[in-house]
Structure 1
Amino acid sequence: MSDFPVTLVRMTTEKKDTNSLRGRICLVAGATRGAGRGIAVQLGAAGATVYVTGRTTRAKLSEVGRATETIEETAELVTAAGGEGIAVPTDHLDVEQVKALVERIDREHGRLDVLVNDVWGGEHLLSFGKKTWENDLAGGLRMLELGVKTHAITSHTALPLLIRHPGALVVEITDGTSAYNGTRFRENLFYDLAKNAPIRMAFGLGKELAEYGGTAVCVSPGWLRSEQMLEGFGVTEENWRDAVAKIPDFAVAESPAYVGRAVAALAADADRHRWNGRSLDSGGLAREYGFTDADGSQPDAWGFILAGETGKPDVNDYR
């Protein structure tokens, strides 16, 4: 087990388990690493049973090419945090695999309370500084498959089980809030489409779920200290601040536990329907619900980014 997952376990055990989600059945689609793993672990810390899916297992590597994180490891972290983690290898582009996943959840529990759509894995396809027609078309279309088609397949398949009981919650995970993505080009058309689509999905699903007592939202982490991000900066979760000397704005970065606590807080909120159809972010939800990141701070990355477009904000004011 790598250092980072151990840190995630410590992040959950340092905060007392309230059992606020005991008895809830959750599916985190795309829980191998990053935000998905952080969300799964924090749902587990609140006592939930969490099905974690993805393509990277201890026996098989996905196209992302990272063998250091697996869904089995995520499931173990969920259980160590206080919940029950269940790893189910699933390619969310394969309709039959997603159907089998949902049928298993139905067979084993007869209900699904929370669906988190976090499937992505397209970082290796990204390129910036090129026009749309200069980019690789196959890579661009693959990003749309990974970031949009997977979410559509999963929602279409899981929603009939989800709406069986009132109070269902769908959380679409993306990069960027509507306030940011809605007026700015994300420098690569395919990436822009992939990261705006979950915002619209949450809006549309919110309309459809309302009559069933359900809620759909889109949540974005800020500058996420994912395993891949930390590795790229040559640091770990324990010494991540060493990277601030080279990139001062990195001081506003957040751990995956932060967005995980945001989703867990939404899932535990009996009045969460007030957020229905909206685009939210971890920093804003931290202020609303009062939770903190692993270090006790409340980073507001998107507030900092937006303020930086019109001035020179002090990063310390946003942590």
Structure 2
Amino acid sequence: MGLLEGKVALVTGASRGVGKGIALGLAEQGATVYVTGRTESAGAHPTPLPGTVQETAEEVTAVGGRGVAIACDHRDDEQTRQAVRQVVTDAGRLDVLVNNVWGGYEYFWDGTPFWEEAGFWTQPIERWDSAFQAGVRAHYVTSVAAVPTMVAQRSGLIVNVSSEGAEKTDTGVAYGAAKAATDHMVACMAHELRDHGVTAVSLYPGLVRTESVLRAAEYFDLTDSESPQFVGRGVAALAADPEVIHLTGQVVRSAQLARRYNFSDPNPR
């Protein structure tokens, strides 16, 4: 029996990449995992990358969990609220919320030569809007919708997927500001949720071998990179830790979680 048997999770932005890896990591421990994404059918991707939300749900079930796909564009607040309502109505509980969905990466696939956006003053304002609407705002709205159930249970874990870009100055103005905003949002949420038994953390993966990174592998040193499912095992370990409240409000890194909880990468380099 998995450590998360009977637990229910919602992972946003899970058609591929880190979100998919997290869903699979939770599924390995027997969780029921609801996954959201915009891509519903192969060949109809918002991005030129493989993966659909239904495929992720099927893989979740295949590795030992129960996967449920929810088509959702988290730029639309009502779609976000409806996704959370579906989880709570179907499952009657919500133990883990992983806010992974993000925006602002459009320049990777909209045909813009990267050198034409070498400074924030050369970028369309939409890059900022996307990072904050499809990223920070989506994390906030999903949490607002999910927290009443967790408070009523007096238990729950919220993980906002962030990055070291929040602490650096060379990752782009919009990206860095948005990641810093989501980190501070977690700290503030943790302050308000602690007395209700609900934990909130920011998660920094390392360099993850997502479909997007592998597509541009020639530009990366993948020597110390992580598989998406390695990140997922970190989230699963947090979700299974009965003392996880001691980490609330903090930034946790996937490599540190591996040492803390003694797990390994299922797909090492």
Match of residue 199, structure 1, among 183, 201, 208: 183
Matched, 1:123 2:105: yes
Match of residue 69, structure 2, among 71, 87, 94: 87
Q: Which moved more, 1:186-195 or 1:24-33?
A: 186-195
5 Å-filtered alignment, 1:1-319, equals 18-58=1-41, 61-66=44-49, 68-125=50-107, 130-176=118-164, 181-182=166-167, 184-233=168-217, 249-295=221-267
2-structure distance, mates of 1:216, 1:86: 24
Q: Which moved more, 1:99-108 or 1:83-92?
A: 99-108
CA RMSD of aligned residues (A): 2.0
Contact 1:125/1:143 (<8 A) preserved? no
Alpha-carbon displacement from aligned partner over 1:33-79 (angstroms, at most 9, x marks no partner): 1110000011111000000001111178353343x210000000100
1-structure distance, mates of 2:268, 2:44: 35
1-structure distance, mates of 2:7, 2:205: 23
Structure 1 residue 91, shift from structure 2 partner: 1.1
- So what's the TM-score if we normalise by structure 2? 0.91
Structure 1 residue 252, shift from structure 2 partner: 0.5
Alpha-carbon displacement from aligned partner over 1:253-280 (angstroms, at most 9, x marks no partner): 1101111000000000001111110001
Secondary structure at the aligned position of 1:26 is classed as strand
Structure 1 residue 162, shift from structure 2 partner: 2.3
Structure 1 residue 133, shift from structure 2 partner: 2.4
2-structure distance, mates of 1:228, 1:175: 16
Structure number with bigger Rg: 1
Contact 2:8/2:33 (<8 A) preserved? yes
Report the residue type matching 2:203 in the other structure.
Answer: V
Contact 2:166/2:178 (<8 A) preserved? no
2-structure distance, mates of 1:229, 1:265: 25
- So what's the TM-score if we normalise by structure 1? 0.77
Secondary structure at the aligned position of 2:152 is classed as coil
Count of aligned positions: 263
| Structure 2 unaligned regions, length at least 5 | 109-113
1-structure distance, mates of 2:156, 2:78: 23
Q: Which moved more, 1:93-102 or 1:128-137?
A: 128-137
2-structure distance, mates of 1:221, 1:46: 20
| Structure 1 unaligned regions, length at least 5 | 1-17, 234-242, 298-319
Alpha-carbon displacement from aligned partner over 1:141-179 (angstroms, at most 9, x marks no partner): 222212211111111111112222122100000122xxx
1-structure distance, mates of 2:140, 2:181: 10
Alpha-carbon displacement from aligned partner over 1:281-304 (angstroms, at most 9, x marks no partner): 10011110000112568xxxxxxx
Report the residue type matching 1:99 in the other structure.
Answer: R
Alpha-carbon displacement from aligned partner over 1:103-157 (angstroms, at most 9, x marks no partner): 2222212211100000014322365763332221122222221221111111111
Q: Which structure carries more relative contact order (alpha carbon 8 Å, separation 6+)?
A: 2
Runs of 4+ in 1 over 6 A off after TM superposition: none
Structure 1 residue 251, shift from structure 2 partner: 0.4
